[in-house]
């Protein structure tokens, strides 16, 4: 049976852990407010840009662009957006499970990974997958220049034929308590549906739709990557806040249980001492 000293040490250790988890919960909550606003604001902008592209495409029935090109898939690129750190519940685990299910459909020599986040880099490096590009440390603070560079790389690799298609796997932010891992095709881009062409046929574009489209389409790709990263970071912070909140609650419950055990041990010790004193007094009579 543990002694009073051992129980006190354990209570002290759990209290220290509780302070750490509580601090991490508060930090995640403070960062989440900004990240959530950024994630929510990024979606309308991306949708509006997509609508503009559809308007432009509808102005010309014979309009084509290299990013819409469909070709035989010989090599696939997969962008996996993970976290830099753990202590965020099943956030990374769910992401990797979805990515692994996707990878089962491809031979290892036919797919190349583009990894964002140290956890993803470590996970797939241990499994010997070919990594084409990596951003091992981003922590939600990746600059617009880096985002633009990543999007441009993906576009260049697709247009040059290094990659025949590009997919994204990331965690979509729904609410603080709800997130969903999404697998989305990034390139080639999906062409606007024919039913949408009639809705915007009265628009007039100058100098011409093709030139405007060629200018806006790369920006749309950058916006898409920026939106994905914003969604992933907000999801990571929400998962970490909830996970650390649960850890703090568990620590509090453990402290209560240990305190009860300590009090019982102390009472037993006092009772034992009193019995010894009483027995000694009786023996002296």
Residue among 151, 168, 171 nearest 102 (CA): 168
Which residues partner with 183 through β-bridges? 169
Q: What is the number of alpha carbons within 13 Å of residue 95 lying toward its C-beta?
A: 31
Q: Hey, is 172 helix, strand or coil?
A: strand
| Residue 218 token pair | 């790369």
By the 10 Å C-beta count (0-12 exposed, 13-18 middle, 19+ buried), 125 is classed as middle
Cβ(164)–Cβ(75) under 8 Å? yes
Angle at 176 between CA 122 and CA 183, to 5 degrees: 50
Q: Is 88 a catalytic residue?
A: yes
Q: Which residue among the candidates 39, 49, 78, 88 is catalytic per the annotation?
A: 88
Active site residues: 88
């Amino acid at each position: 049976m543990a002694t009073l000293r051992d129980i006190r040490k354990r209570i002290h250790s759990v209290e220290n852990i509780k302070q750490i988890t509580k601090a991490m919960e508060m930090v995640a909550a403070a960062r989440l407010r900004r990240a959530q606003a950024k994630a929510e604001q990024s979606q309308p902008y991306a949708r509006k840009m997509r609508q503009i592209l559809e308007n432009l495409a509808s102005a010309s029935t014979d309009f084509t662009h290299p990013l819409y090109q469909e070709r035989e898939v010989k090599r696939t690129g997969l962008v996996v957006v993970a976290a830099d750190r753990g202590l965020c519940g099943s956030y990374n685990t769910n992401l990797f499970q979805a990515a692994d299910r996707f990878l089962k459909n491809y031979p290892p020599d036919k797919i190349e990974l583009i990894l964002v986040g140290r956890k993803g880099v470590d996970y797939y490096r241990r499994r010997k997958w070919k990594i084409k590009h990596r951003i091992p440390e981003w922590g939600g603070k990746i600059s617009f220049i880096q985002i633009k560079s990543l999007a441009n790389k993906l576009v260049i690799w697709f247009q040059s034929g290094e990659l025949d298609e590009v997919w994204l796997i990331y965690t979509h932010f729904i609410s603080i308590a709800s997130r969903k891992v999404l697998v989305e095709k990034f390139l080639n881009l999906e062409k606007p549906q024919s039913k949408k062409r009639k809705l915007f046929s009265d628009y007039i574009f100058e100098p011409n739709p093709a030139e405007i489209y060629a200018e806006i389409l790369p920006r749309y790709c950058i916006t898409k990557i920026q939106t994905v990263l914003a969604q992933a970071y907000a999801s990571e912070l929400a998962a970490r806040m909830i996970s650390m909140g649960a850890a703090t609650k568990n620590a509090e419950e453990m402290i209560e249980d240990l305190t009860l055990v300590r009090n019982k041990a102390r009472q037993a010790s006092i009772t034992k001492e009193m019995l010894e004193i009483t027995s000694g007094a009786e023996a002296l009579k």
